[in-house]
Amino acid sequence: MDTDKKKILVPTDFKQPAEYALQHAVRVSGVVGEPIVLIHVVKLANEVDEVKQKLDKVVQLTQQKYNVSPGIVVKIGEVADEIAKTAIEINASIVIMGSASVKGRVDLSNLPTLNVITKSTVPFITIQEPPVNKRYDDIIFPIDFTVENKEKHSWISYFCDYYVSKFHLIKPNVSDPELVAKVDLNMASAVRYLDEKGAKYEVYTVPGQKPYAEEVLDLAVNIRADLIVIMTTKVSGDGNFILEPHEHTIVGQAGHIPVMSINPR
C-alpha cells in the first residue's frame, strides 16, 4: 500500500451506519482525489480470514455501485486504538465513520463513537444518515472559549482548496466578561484566517434561549449545512482528548449533517 499518498480511512462493522460512511467517503474521494481504505478490527486472530472475505464483498459492491475499489485492512486489538494507529500508518487525511443516532439520550459519555474520536490524531467525520450533498459548501464553525478552538481554523485552507465553501461562525450567547473575551479572541482568529484565504463567511450569535449545542444544530438545519466542525480539548498530562458536553450533543444528534471532530496537536 502506498503510504505517501493521503487516504480516507473508513471503519466498518458491516452495519448500516458504516454503509452511510462509505457512501460519504466515496463522495469526498471524488472531490479530493484520495483513495479509500476500509478497516475492521477483530478481537482474535482466527476471525481475520472471515472478515477479509466480508470486506472483499464490500469492495465488490462498492466497485459495482460507485466504480470505486477501496483497499482493506484487518487489525487485531481494541477498536479505538487500532483505528487511531492505522490512520497514522496509512497516512490518512481523515477518518469517516458511521455513528448510530442517539437523539433523546442525555448522557452520551459512553457512546462508542466518542471513544474512537478522542483516541485519534487524525480528524474524524461522523455520519448517522445517508449523505445528502457531495460537497462541503456550507460549513458550521461553532466558536467557543477554549484555546484549542483556534487550531481548527487551519482546516479552512483544506476546505478552500477543494470546495467553494461558505463558513458560518457561531458564537455562544455568554455574558461573563472573561468568556466573552476568549470567544472574541477565537472569533478574531477565525476571521483572520478567512480573510487571508478570501473565503466567504457569516457571523451569528445564538439567542441563548436553549443549550448552545441545540441552537448550533437548529441553525445548521436552517441553513442546510453540509458539515459541522468541532475541536476536542486536550487533557493536561495524559495526552488524551475529550469532547465538551455541548460537543457530545452535536456529535450524537447531528442527524443527516456530518460532524468533523479535530483533536488538537
Dump the DSSP string for 131-170. ---SS--EEEEE--S-GGGGGGGGHHHHHHHHS--EEEEE
Residue 11: name the closest of 93, 89, 74 by CA.
74
Confidence of residue 219 (pLDDT cuts 50, 70, 90): very high
For 215, the 3-state DSSP assignment is: helix
Contact by Cβ (8 Å): 157, 190: no
Confidence of residue 265 (pLDDT cuts 50, 70, 90): low
Q: Give the predicted TM-score (pTM) of the model.
A: 0.85
Please tell me which residue, 259 or 246, carries the higher pLDDT value. 259
State the cell numbers at 155: 482546516
The neighbouring-strand residues paired with 229 are 260
Contact by Cβ (8 Å): 201, 167: yes
Residue 77: name the closest of 107, 43, 48 by CA.
43
Confidence of residue 161 (pLDDT cuts 50, 70, 90): confident
For 121-159, the pLDDT digits (tens) are: 788 898 888 888 778 889 998 887 766 555 566 677 778
Q: What percent of the chain has pLDDT over 90?
A: 45
Average pLDDT over every residue of 196-204: 90
Please tell me which residue, 145 or 110, carries the higher pLDDT value. 145
For 4-28, the pLDDT digits (tens) are: 789 999 999 999 989 999 999 999 9
Confidence of residue 101 (pLDDT cuts 50, 70, 90): low
Average pLDDT over every residue of 97-117: 63
Amino acid 152: pLDDT: 61
29-38, 79-88, 109-118: which range is least confident on average? 109-118
Max avg pLDDT among 28-37, 133-142, 237-246:
28-37
- Give me the domains of the chain, ranges plus CATH numbers: 7-98 (3.40.50.620), 138-262 (3.40.50.620)
